[in-house]
Amino acid sequence: MDFLKAVSEPAPLQGKAYFFIFSENDILVKETADNRVSIPLIEERSIAKMKLTGSHFLGTINQIPCYCAHLFSENLPDRYKLMNLRALYGRVDNGFWSLSGYARQIHDWNMNFKFCGRCGAKTHKKENEYARECSQCNLISYPRISPAIITAVVKDRQLLLARGINFPNKKMFSVLAGFVEPGESLEACIKREIFEEVGIKVKNIQYFKSQSWPFPDSLMIGFTAEYESGRLLIDTNEIVEADWFDAQTLPLVPGKQALAGELIEWFVQTHGNRSTPSSD
Ligand SMILES: [Zn+2]
């Protein structure tokens, strides 16, 4: 799938277009025969019936326009349903999964920044870039991205995993993560977060990879690090329990669609060979 991002709509919509349509935490999908779903490819004349608002152009897939929009109607056409965006993973091609996350963030930003944060006047979308400008004071706001670090800390041949207080699954453990604060480098953020949450100092921080995570607007930046010093002392406001685990005796951990799962898989591949229980 070749998605070509574009800010401005080249011409008014004629024919079919892909619509990434959101309602609360859900996205509208069309059921297909093989128990999979697809992003709706909708005829222009059908769109008016669906009571969409806040439609924004995103770009094109093979010259077919793509839009995000908000759904207010509860009456869905046959074979259409709402499903949680997280649950969409694995049900559509990865390209459409990534694009759904992008569409979600552009949709949310346009919904949440209709008014200026400085003077309260209405904002409007700029023509030539993804930005909203205040009609009174000209303050410009851009789509919000919240950088967060996520780190696999290894001591000898064991991985540091913790169970966060807000994890929906009470048996799930994961590697430590936290939001970057103003004025902070990624390395400083890693050292601060890990020390604050579990009382451990780390060294030899190495970049792993990054992932856009649209729940709601994170950019997850993954690292590996080595234990330097300290004893596990958890911050009970954030962590329920934390411990060091062998590759062979991991608890329930996130699936590989999340960067956390990829980091844990990296640990298993480099520190042990047995398969892990996973939430996939
Ligand atoms: Zn303003």
What's the pLDDT tens digit per position in 56-106?
999 999 999 999 999 887 778 888 999 999 889 888 988 999 999 999 999
Is 44's pLDDT higher than 80?
no
Distance 127 CA to ligand 1 centre (A): 18
C-alpha 157/C-alpha 174 separation (Å) is 17
Distance 218 CA to ligand 1 centre (A): 26
Distance 58 CA to ligand 1 centre (A): 25
pTM to 2 decimal places: 0.87
Least confident range from 51-55, 63-67, 137-141, 165-169: namely 51-55
C-alpha 226/C-alpha 238 separation (Å) is 22
What's the pLDDT tens digit per position in 182-223?
999 999 999 999 999 999 999 999 999 999 999 999 999 999
The pLDDT of residue 200 is 97
Query: Whose structure tokens read 């009609």?
Result: 135
Residue pair 201/191 in contact by the 8 Å Cβ criterion: yes
Distance 132 CA to ligand 1 centre (A): 11
Distance 61 CA to ligand 1 centre (A): 35
